[in-house]
């Protein structure tokens, strides 16, 4: 593991045909594009490299994220965009799921599930619903047709939602427990880190005494789907991201190259600390640092 020199960056550019980028902390922070992100993506496209965007944030759908990126100046299609909300939907579709899903999450997660024919209960529809504690015997009525609890970040989490999901999981061993991601924190604004989806998942692990199936990074499902769909070899793929425990670990465990950017949650001190056991192949200050090799790329580097 070392800070990338121009030679290292040039070798990576030549070696990898598919570039997989995290979003928050890597290409943008909040609503601000990181300097150089647009120009480097354009450079990759100029040389016919395949570009993909993968985020663990399940609050938005692929369509919404692609539209945000495009509005910021980086053209992105839905086919290039992968979210943990899409991963949950794709998994349920793959296993032939035909029941209802109880959602702890927001509009983007419901949108992706609905797109593959999964009928959703909860989510935004349960926003503001509370347990009636004035009753002598408070009670939450659960839809018996729920066959999966799907958990993503829910900024409107409530005790009612947790109880509903707990009843689904604790009273039905066949009910699936799917976690879009288990991120502890996320950069939802530039100034602060915020509690992530992992807090909601952890609450349900505690109450249901069950472990979920993880579908977002660092689990393999998204990269399996991406490589199979787009016919990409893992050893020709590089993951660029700012989180060691998701982005970089995801790439390492799944046979891809890795590059850590220090523009998000990981500092150089954390990366180089003796206690850190997750080591990317390369690291750079930010995505714009790749532009130092712009005039060194040989003309035969393009994928034909």
Question: Is 224 within any annotated ligand binding site?
Answer: no
Using alpha carbons, list the distances in angstroms from residue 17 to 44, 67, 117, 235, 304.
Answer: 9, 24, 34, 9, 11
Same domain? 49 vs 135: no
Beta bridge partners of 178: 150, 213
Q: In this structure, is residue 135 part of a structural domain?
A: yes
Assigned domain for 108 exists: yes
Q: What's the Cα-to-Cα distance from 76 to each of 18, 188, 201, 247, rounded to whole Å? A: 15, 21, 30, 20
Instruction: Say whether 284 sits in a helix, a strand or coil.
Output: strand
Let me know if residue 119 belongs to a domain. Answer: yes
Which ranges constitute the DSSP H helices of the chain?
6-15, 37-46, 62-71, 84-94, 107-115, 159-170, 197-208, 221-230, 249-253, 268-272
Find the catalytic residue in 6, 8, 17, 22.
22
Q: Find the mean pLDDT for residues 163-176.
A: 96
Tell me, yes or no, whether 18 and 119 share the same domain: no
Decide if pLDDT at 155 tops 90: yes
Domain count, the chain: 2
Tell which of 214, 247, 274 closes a domain.
Answer: 214
The span from the CA of 266 to the CA of 263, in Å, is 7
132: in domain: yes
Beta bridge partners of 18: 50, 237
Q: What is the pLDDT of residue 30?
A: 78
* Whether 182 and 223 share a structural domain: no
53-57, 154-158, 159-163, 190-194, range with the lowest pLDDT: 190-194
Percent of the chain exceeding pLDDT 70 equals 98
Phi, psi of 6 (to 5 degrees): -60, -35
DSSP 97-128: --SEEEEES-HHHHHHHHHTTPEEEEGGGGTT
Is 173 in the same domain as 103?
Answer: yes
Co-location of 237 and 192 in the same domain: no
Tell me which DSSP letter residue 220 carries.
Answer: S
Residue 140 has, within 13 A of its CA and on its CB side, a CA count of 18
Task: Tell me whether residue 117 is in a domain.
Answer: yes
Question: How much is the pLDDT for 156?
Answer: 96
Residue pair 266/287 in contact by the 8 Å Cβ criterion: no
Residue 77 lies in a domain: no
Domain at 120, CATH number:
3.40.50.1000
* Paired sense of beta strands 282-284 and 2-3, if any: parallel
Mean pLDDT confidence for 139-166: 97
Question: For residue range 223-277, what is the model confidence (pLDDT) as tens digits?
Answer: 999 999 999 999 999 999 999 999 999 999 999 999 999 998 899 999 999 999 9
**Percentage, residues of the chain above pLDDT 90:** 90
Q: In whole angstroms, what is the distance from residue 218 CA to residue 222 CA?
A: 9
Give yes or no: residues 103 and 210 share one domain: yes
pLDDT for 53: 98
Mean pLDDT, to the nearest integer, of 68-84? 94
Residues 175 and 108 in one domain: yes
Predicted local distance difference test score (pLDDT) of residue 303: 66
> At 277, is the secondary structure helix, strand, or coil?
coil
> Any known ligand binding at 50?
no
Confidence (pLDDT) at 231: 95
Q: How far is CA 233 from CA 65, 230, 250, 282, in A?
A: 25, 9, 15, 20
What's the average model confidence in pLDDT over 65-79? 94
> Distance between CA 76 and CA 63 in Å, rounded?
9
Residues 194 and 296 in one domain: no
| 178 and 286 both lie in a single domain | no
One domain, residues 244 and 172: no
Give the DSSP H/E element, type plus range, for residue 51: strand 50-55
Among residues 214, 231, 247, the one where a domain terminates is 214
Any known ligand binding at 17? Answer: no
* Per-residue pLDDT tens digits for 177-211: 999 999 988 767 667 778 999 999 999 999 999 99
Report the mean per-residue pLDDT for the chain.
94
The predicted model gives 45-50 an average pLDDT of: 95
- Assess whether 143 and 249 both reside in one domain: no
Within a domain: 230: yes
Please indicate whether residue 132 is annotated as part of the active site.
Answer: no
Residue ending a domain, choose from 192, 214, 236: 214
Q: Domain span at residue 197?
A: 96-214
* 242 annotated to bind ligand: yes
The catalytic residue among 6, 8, 17, 24 is: 24
For residue 245, indicate whether it is catalytic.
Answer: no
How far is residue 298 from each of residues 9, 14, 294, measured CA to CA in Å? 13, 9, 10
Indicate if 192 and 119 belong to the same structural domain: yes
Q: Is residue 17 part of a domain?
A: yes
């Amino acid at each position: 593991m070392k800070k990338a020199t121009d030679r290292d960056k040039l070798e990576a550019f030549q070696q990898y045909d598919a570039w997989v980028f995290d979003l928050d902390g890597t290409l943008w922070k909040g609503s601000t594009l990181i300097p150089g992100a647009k120009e480097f993506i354009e450079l990759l496209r100029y040389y016919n490299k395949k570009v993909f965007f993968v985020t663990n944030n399940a609050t938005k759908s692929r369509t919404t994220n692609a539209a945000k990126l495009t509005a910021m100046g980086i053209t992105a299609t839905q086919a290039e965009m992968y979210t943990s909300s899409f991963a949950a939907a794709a998994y349920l579709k793959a296993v032939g799921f035909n029941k209802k899903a109880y959602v702890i999450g927001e509009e983007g997660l419901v949108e992706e599930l609905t797109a593959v024919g999964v009928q959703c209960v909860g989510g935004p529809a349960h926003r503001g619903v509370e347990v009636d504690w004035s009753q002598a015997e408070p009670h939450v009525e659960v839809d018996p047709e729920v066959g999966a609890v799907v958990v993503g970040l829910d900024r409107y989490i409530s005790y009612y939602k947790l109880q509903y999901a707990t009843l689904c999981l604790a009273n039905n061993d066949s009910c699936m427990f799917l976690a879009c991601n288990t991120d502890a924190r996320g950069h939802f604004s530039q100034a602060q880190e915020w509690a992530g989806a992992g807090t909601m998942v952890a609450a349900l692990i505690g109450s249901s005494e069950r472990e979920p199936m993880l579908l977002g990074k660092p689990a393999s499902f998204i990269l399996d789907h991406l490589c199979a769909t787009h016919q990409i070899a893992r050893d020709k793929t590089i993951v660029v991201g700012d989180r060691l425990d998701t982005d970089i670990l995801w790439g390492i465990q799944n046979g891809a190259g890795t590059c850590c950017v220090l523009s998000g949650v990981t500092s150089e001190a954390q990366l180089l600390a003796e206690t850190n056991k997750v080591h990317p192949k390369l690291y750079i200050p930010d995505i714009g640092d790749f532009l130092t090799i712009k005039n060194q790329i040989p003309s035969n580097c393009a994928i034909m």
